[in-house]
Amino acid sequence: MQVTLSRNGNTLTAQLHGRLEGLSSIDFQQTIESEMDPGDTGLILDMHDMSYLGSAGLRVLAILSKRTGDAGVKFALCAPQQTVKRVIGMSGFDKMISIFGTQEEANAAVSA
């Protein structure tokens, strides 16, 4: 798993590349938590280049969703591949986390 981080105002965007599972999920969570600033109002995970989402990755999504919600930070996913989107749907996370087709749509939603 590789992560590319960028900022748009008070929104942190993480582009995920590869597989989010097992040990990579722990590293990913630590990376996001260390990069979030106290003034951040949005977190977007861009999944367009993510090929697999395992149970450990789902756990991290749940943790990030809870922590961002508790902090008043808007959390969104965007552009998941069909296999990843199916896992998110089967887990019911699509009911808890906003999912958008593009990064632009996600940016507009978390900036509103």
Enumerate domains of the chain plus CATH numbers: 2-111 (3.30.750.24)
| φ, ψ (nearest 5 deg) of residue 9 | 65, -125
pLDDT (average), residues 1-22: 96
DSSP conformation class of 97: S
Decide if 110 contacts 74 (C-beta within 8 A). yes
22 conformational bin, left if phi > 0, alpha if psi -120 to 50, beta if neither: left
- Report, as an integer, the average pLDDT of 71-88: 97
| pLDDT in the model for residue 36 | 96
| Nearest Cα to Cα of residue 15 among 28, 24, 30, 33 | 28
Average pLDDT, the chain: 96
- How far, in Å, are 7, 44, 45, 90 from residue 14 at the CA level? 9, 6, 5, 23
Q: State the average pLDDT over residues 92-111.
A: 96
What confidence category does residue 38 fall into, taking pLDDT thresholds of 50, 70 and 90? Answer: very high
Whole-model pTM: value is: 0.96
